[in-house]
Amino acid sequence: MWTRTYRSQSECPAARSTLQKLSQTLLAALLWLATSAAPITLAAQEAQLPTATALNATSLPIEAASIDLVESDSSQLDCESLEQELGCQPQAGDEIWLVNTRQLGDCFSDCNLVPDLPVSCWVNGEFQQKSLAELLEQVAATPQTRNIVYIHGNFTDLGWSIRRGLQFYNGCFANAPARPAIRFIIWSWRSERETLLGRDYQIKSQRAVAEGCRLNSLVDRLGPSRPIVIGYSLGAQATLSALSQNSSPESQPWVVALIAAALDPHFCGTLRNNTQISERFSHLVVFTNHVDPALNCSLRITRRAMANPNPPSQYSIVPNLKSKHPSVQQYEVSREVGHHHAISYYIEAPTVSQQVRALLDQ
């Protein structure tokens, strides 16, 4: 039988096909390395995030739809797109405010909010620039209006924090019947993606703890009615951190909701050791999801960093606080939310939206 002899492996069709596949794989890897430092855009939402290996982190692939991505920039926002996100004008008597701490840098010791802190109010279909003093004057002038503060999670720029905040207001409060007027405050903190996934989570979880100092500085001044504070993902960490801070004698206990809470493991000891946290809220509801991929990813990062097979997680909150406070509730919403982390999926969960609206009765 006649047999062809190849002078080199490159002439063999099977070998050539294998080399081409290896070349394509290598090229794809090089392209990803070249673009990994670039901001995530809207187009990235349709693709899976690449596997990232960072300091103290294992290789952790995570679906793009499971986390809040940087999908917009404030310069790209216009009134029409925001009105579409809002769905309509705020309900009669409601106010929507934006407090932006992104330009203040990390909070280390001074938690006081500067007088020129960027503050805006939704007026006539757009956000108009106001001041911190004007916000506090409005709070004092309308004490019957219930104050609600919403704190977003990671991978969120200014524009997307606005969209998510309006989406939350629209999904949970806009069409709620027979409720009091509310002042809905979107708290926007610096959480754009900065580095590879594992290391980024470690940076942001520590920043969320520090941000709680500033958050407490504002919410502590939102009397006389009990403020409602809603923390999502790492925003839940900022909320717990705020509760660990000192309060003024005239401040009211908070009503708190924590949604898909991502926690800084080094802070979690505070939940057990700081009795002040349980003394500063009158009611706490926690929404957990054991199949949330972003929370499971953060748990893997924490497990590796702490060399602890059972590190603190979303399920650590209630056991550590319930013994000190009877009004603590937990709802497992995995069946309603599924394998997702984006706040939009939690808003659509009936248990979440109903229980969040019920906070107005607390």
* Digit-coded pLDDT (tens) for 263-276: 998 888 777 777 78
- Sequence-distant (6+) residues with CB within 8 A of 28 are none
**Which of 69, 62, 74 lies closest to 45 in space, CA to CA?**
69
Chain segment 132-154, per-residue pLDDT in tens: 999 999 999 999 999 999 999 99
Q: How far apart are the first and last CA of the chain?
A: 89
Q: For residue 110, what pLDDT is reported?
A: 63
Report the DSSP beta bridge partners of residue 123.
126
- Compute CA distances 99 → 70, 117, 134, 190, 261, whole Å: 19, 8, 12, 12, 21
Report the 10 Å Cβ neighbour count for 300. Answer: 18
Nearest Cα residue to 165 out of 100, 112, 251: 100
pLDDT of residue 51: 24
Tell me: the pLDDT tens digits for 90-106?
Answer: 888 999 999 999 988 77
Q: For the chain, what is the mean pLDDT?
A: 79
| CATH class label, 42-361 | alpha beta
- Helix then strand count (H, E) for the chain reads 13, 9
pTM for the full model? 0.79
CA 243 to chain centre: 17
Give the pLDDT confidence of 11-61 residue by residue, as tens digits.
Answer: 455 555 555 555 555 544 443 333 333 332 222 222 222 222 222 222 233
Pairwise pLDDT comparison (260 vs 197), residue with the higher score: 260
Is residue 350 within 8 A of residue 326, CB to CB? The reply is no
Q: What is the pLDDT of residue 88?
A: 59
Q: Are residues 345 and 337 in contact, defined by beta-carbon separation less than 8 angstroms?
A: yes
* 9: CB partners within 8 A, 6+ apart: 15, 19
Instruction: Locate the domains of the chain by residue range.
Output: 42-361
The alpha-carbon radius of gyration of the chain (Å, integer) is 23
pLDDT value at 188 more than 90: yes
> What is the share, in percent, of the chain residues with pLDDT greater than 90?
54
Beta strands in the chain, from DSSP E residues, in sequence order: 95-100, 119-123, 126-130, 146-151, 182-188, 228-232, 254-259, 281-288, 328-332
DSSP conformation letters of 35-98:
HTTSPP-GGGGGSPPPP---TT-------GGGS------GGG--HHHHHHHH-SSPPTT-EEEE
- For the beta sheet containing 328-332, the strands, ordered from the edge strand earlier in sequence to the opposite edge, are 126-130, 119-123, 95-100, 182-188, 146-151, 228-232, 254-259, 281-288, 328-332
Among 159-163, 248-252, 308-312, the range with the most confident prediction by mean pLDDT is 159-163
pLDDT over 70 (residue 359): yes
Cβ–Cβ < 8 Å for 227, 147: yes
Going by their DSSP bridges, the two strands 119-123 and 126-130 should be labelled as antiparallel
Separation CA 327–CA 349 (nearest Å): 22
Main-chain phi, psi angles of 295, to 5 degrees: -70, -40
pLDDT category, 237, cuts 50, 70, 90? very high
Residues 101 and 188 sit within 8 Å (Cβ to Cβ): yes
Percent of the chain with pLDDT over 70: 74
Both tokens assigned to 90: 């705020």
Residue from 71, 44, 41, 274 nearest 167 by CA: 71
